Amino acid sequence: MYIPTYEDMVAAHERVKPYVHKTPVLTSSFLNQLTGAELFFKCENFQKAGAFKVRGACNAVFGLSEEMAKKGVATHSSGNHALSLSYAAGRRGIPCHVVMPRTAPQAKKDAVIGYGGVITECEPSTSSREAVFAEVQAETGAEFVHPYNDHRVIAGQGTCSRELHDQVHDLDAVVAPIGGGGMVSGTCLTLSHIAPKTKIYAAEPLNADDAARSFRAGHIIADDAPDTIADGLKVPLKDLTWHFVSNHVTDILTATEEEIVDAMKLIWKRMKIVMEPSSAVPLATILKNRDVFAGKRVGVIITGGNVDLDNLPWMNS
Amino acid sequence: MYIPTYEDMVAAHERVKPYVHKTPVLTSSFLNQLTGAELFFKCENFQKAGAFKVRGACNAVFGLSEEMAKKGVATHSSGNHALSLSYAAGRRGIPCHVVMPRTAPQAKKDAVIGYGGVITECEPSTSSREAVFAEVQAETGAEFVHPYNDHRVIAGQGTCSRELHDQVHDLDAVVAPIGGGGMVSGTCLTLSHIAPKTKIYAAEPLNADDAARSFRAGHIIADDAPDTIADGLKVPLKDLTWHFVSNHVTDILTATEEEIVDAMKLIWKRMKIVMEPSSAVPLATILKNRDVFAGKRVGVIITGGNVDLDNLPWMNS
């Protein structure tokens, strides 16, 4: 297991700069008043392909040798990594094969196809996903880029908090959503080096709280097919992300489905930005842990904005 | 009739600066490709109180003498001017009386109350609105701040395109939605002075095309209670806004309800911003008048973001 270094993140930043946005940091006086904290929202919903995942995907794709690149790349993903890898492969002009759960939002499937990715569907469980993927990879010989348990991907995701650190000084804490742990690992990689006093919190849906339970148990616990509207956060930790989470994260906080939807609507209504349910989990946990964050300067990672406008969470209730 | 001057706009800018945001200009490579134009979106959906109208409202409220201010301000409005005047009055600590159609979105009514405004409801027609308002004003003695046919308001709205002109050089055209014509008049006031080569287009719902018909007829035509999802654009031109529209606007373009909703979804989906149906009318007209805008650098005013998330236009279809 190769653990990516700070220097890998710096190299990744140079490599991905031509293909990703330096996303803006937004603030809201209303939400500051509501939480008692000073919140700085790093808006990766405005990122290319609509999510932070394009950082790791571009680092992996543009780091390949010419010979490796010819056969293309392949992955399995609950959505945003699929879009991002398709986008990155398209920019380099190489094939991208994607295994996606058949239950993934249609908007995400359409976007993958729009970026030139080729989709093979699987059942919405980790076990089915991995089985179908093995077939696809055997057929194509494409380079596997795991959505998060990959040192190239983690180094790429780390570029997000490097930008945030440039944009906002003296953060007391950063809160990021956790699924497989790619964004949180990248945040740990970068901030443990350049801002070791900044505490890193992970925010997770209570309905998919395997990372929180892992954190308390001291070893990885994986659930097969948890059910949450935060569809980007259903996947379990793996060895590489567990390394960062177990070594650098201060706490993993959870929120219910209702709290996530409420936080999402609050951000849409007050900040006028479109973002995914997954991206609302940090604010949901900040709202219910006022004592932890009040009086602090807190970075909040808005991870993505690829939502199906015809199927918003509050349309079903 | 006092016609506001460029100097009035400059004074307004100094007066409102402490209370309004210099809003960002966003771009979208996808929408540029789709339209063949270079589009620069001036995002007043991120403005205080969620719309450009706070510029004119603040200019009126903070320009009052101490004695006039004591009795407060009053207005009738289909929504955003009501929020904005309530916000401005709240910042100065004076009362704000608002006459609103009973059919206005609940989200806007709640927000007016949230900013401390006092609402009196009327029927959703221009005639009812004006009758109810006369009663309120007689009772309170508050200073009337018309939503658009007011030189202080127009001078305030003109600060928006002054910022845009600072942010983006050499615009060939600016497209703004037109209802009563306050934003368009402010745009004319400013750009005719500092960028006389920039053409000004107004964009209007076909279902409420009284301004377009006025423009072709050469005199004001007013409809009572037109029906469009662009609820900010139902009101007619008045003498002061007609002055600017008839003297400085190049053309008034229209779009159907379906075209407006499609443009709105496209902006939400691709730009990840929450904005109102009214704000989508410019893009809708640009998409259907490709020959007018292709190859040009075009400013697009996103006028506001106060939408009712529980009642989005595509939820009803």
Q: What's A54-144's CATH class?
A: alpha beta
For residues A38-58, b (16+ Cβ closer than 10 Å) or e, as one string? bbbbbbbbbbbbbbbbbbbbb
Span B6-51+151-315 CATH architecture: 3-Layer(aba) Sandwich (3.40)
Is the pLDDT at B316 greater than 70? The verdict is no
Look up the ipTM and state it.
0.92
Nearest CA in chain A to B264: A309
Whether the CB of A269 is below 8 Å from some CB of chain B: the reply is yes
pLDDT tens for residues A132-182? 999 999 999 999 999 999 999 999 999 999 999 999 999 999 999 999 999
B309 → closest Cβ in A24, A268, A305:
A268
Is the pLDDT at A121 greater than 60? The verdict is yes
pLDDT tens for residues A8-57? 999 999 999 999 999 999 999 999 999 999 999 999 999 999 999 999 99
Span B69-88, mean pLDDT? 92
CB contact under 8 Å between B50 and A314, yes or no, is: no
pLDDT, position B223? 86
Domain limits, chain B: 6-51+151-315, 54-144
Q: Model confidence at A316, in pLDDT bands (50, 70, 90)? A: low
Nearest CA in chain B to A262: B309
pLDDT tens for residues B244-299? 999 999 999 999 999 999 999 999 999 999 999 999 999 999 999 999 999 999 99
State the Rg of chain B over Cα.
Answer: 18
Q: Model confidence at B78, in pLDDT bands (50, 70, 90)? A: low
Provide the token pair at B41.
Answer: 């979106």
pLDDT, position A313? 92
Whether the CB of B274 is below 8 Å from some CB of chain A: the reply is yes
Whether the CB of A34 is below 8 Å from some CB of chain B: the reply is no
Average pLDDT in chain A: 95
pLDDT, position A274? 98
Is the pLDDT at B62 greater than 70? The verdict is yes
B272 → closest Cβ in A269, A274, A310:
A274
Q: How many Å lie between the alpha carbon of A45 and the closest alpha carbon of chain B?
A: 7
User: What residues are paired with A99 via a beta bridge?
Assistant: A76, A120
Whether the CB of B309 is below 8 Å from some CB of chain A: the reply is yes
A6-51+150-315 shares its CATH topology with A54-144: yes
Task: Name the one residue in this structure whose structure tokens are 């100094």.
Answer: B14
Is the pLDDT at B166 greater than 70? The verdict is yes
Q: Which of chain B's residues have a Cβ under 8 Å away from the Cβ of A317? A: none
Whether the CB of A54 is below 8 Å from some CB of chain B: the reply is no
Whether the CB of B68 is below 8 Å from some CB of chain A: the reply is no
Q: How many Å lie between the alpha carbon of A181 and the closest alpha carbon of chain B?
A: 24
Give all strands of the β-sheet with B118-122 in edge-to-edge order. B118-122, B96-101, B73-76, B143-144
CB contact under 8 Å between A50 and B24, yes or no, is: no
Is the pLDDT at B119 greater than 60? The verdict is yes
Q: Are B262 and B204 in contact (CB under 8 A)?
A: no
pLDDT, position B76? 87
pLDDT, position A21? 97
B309 → closest Cβ in A46, A269, A273:
A269
Is the pLDDT at B56 greater than 90? The verdict is yes
pLDDT, position B183? 98
CB contact under 8 Å between A45 and B269, yes or no, is: no
pLDDT, position B106? 81
Q: Model confidence at B50, in pLDDT bands (50, 70, 90)? A: very high
Q: What angle do CA B246, B250, B255 make, to 5 degrees?
A: 100
A274 → closest Cβ in B26, B107, B273:
B273
Nearest CA in chain A to B272: A274
CB contact under 8 Å between B265 and A309, yes or no, is: yes
> Has domain A6-51+150-315 been given CATH number 3.50.50.60?
no
Nearest CA in chain A to B302: A272
